[in-house]
Amino acid sequence: MERLIAPSILASDFSDIAGAIKLIETAGGDWVHLDVMDGSFVPPITFGSQMVQAIDTITDLPLDVHLMIERPENHIEDFAAAGADYLTVHAEATVHLHRLIQRISDLGVKPGVSIVPSTPVSALQEILGEVDLVLVMSVNPGYGGQKLIPGTLKKIEQLQELKQKHGYRYRISIDGGVNGDTVSEVRDAGAEVMVAGSAFFKADNPSQVVAELKGSG
């Protein structure tokens, strides 16, 4: 199974974003994970589509945009125009998830859906055939550097089973608390994309972290 690493710039030095993107490229990261927070769906505010657009001008890596915002339907055009490759919305943030996923696809962007730890996989049943990414939050969203909640891993197993059974196309991503201590469980559960914030940016040797998470280190 192909495994991808998506370092999250949330844990990087915001006074040197270009340096953070360079580091993701040189260390062998596959995607750039961008955590957009609005101070409402989650307490902190990070950055918006202007930042995504600026990053798009300096890298060819896919931009994996994770929207932790209320009313995502009001913002997807901006993020699509900014160069998002994957645009992931929270199932908890909108009633009309199906329509939103459709609109993201129509904009030529790969749609993703995410669930917080308290939301079951069954909430996604009607949408799984329509998305390119399912992002399982393994911590409560809002902050980097938290501990992975072990109970969330069974959702990855369930999503793998459903994917195989129905032939769905989505990749399964895990976000939160992925590091050298948790990665073997994460891999065993069947995660295909691993988001890593602090494990990557706080490391002395980020290339080694990428190799370790991929299982080749």
Q: Name the residues that contact ligand DX5, by CB under 6 A.
A: 8, 10-11, 33, 35, 66, 139, 141-142, 144-146, 175-178, 195-199
Residue closest to Zn ion (Cβ): 66
* 60 annotated active-site: no
> Which residue lies nearer to ligand DX5 by CB, 94 or 179?
179
Catalytic residue of the set 64, 85, 132, 175? 175
Q: For residue 174, what are the β-bridge partners?
A: 136, 194
Rounded to the nearest whole angstrom, what is the least distance from the CB of residue 151 to ligand DX5 in the complex?
Answer: 16
Specify whether 35 is catalytic.
yes
The strand pairing partners of 67, in sequence order, are 36, 89
Q: Using CB distances below 5 to 8 A depending on partner kind, what does residue 146 bind out of ligand DX5, Zn ion, none?
A: ligand DX5
Kindly state the tokens that stand for 71: 């009313």
For ligand DX5, give the closer residue by CB, 10 or 191: 10
| Integer angstrom CA distances of residue 9 from 75, 106, 109, 121 | 21, 28, 21, 27
- In whole angstroms, what separates CA 192 from the centre of its chain? 11
Which residues have C-beta within 8 Å of that of residue 68, sequence separation ≥ 6? 35, 36, 37, 38, 41, 42, 90, 141, 142
- Please tell me which residue in 30, 35, 85, 132 is annotated as part of the active site: 35
| CB nearer ligand DX5, residue 83 or residue 141 | 141
**3-class DSSP state of 153:** helix
Residue nearest to ligand DX5 (CB): 197
Name the minimum Å distance from CB 45 to Zn ion: 15
Structural tokens at position 50 = 């202007």
Select from 178, 179, 181 the least CA-distant residue to 156.
178
Q: Which residues bind Zn ion (CB under 5 A)?
A: 35, 66, 175
Q: Which does 207 bind (CB under 5 to 8 A by kind): Zn ion, ligand DX5, none?
A: none
Smallest gap from residue 31 Cβ to ligand DX5 (A): 12
Is residue 16 exposed (0-12), middle (13-18) or buried (19+ Cβ within 10 Å)? exposed
Nearer CB in complex with ligand DX5: 16/161: 16
Residues marked active site are found at 35, 175
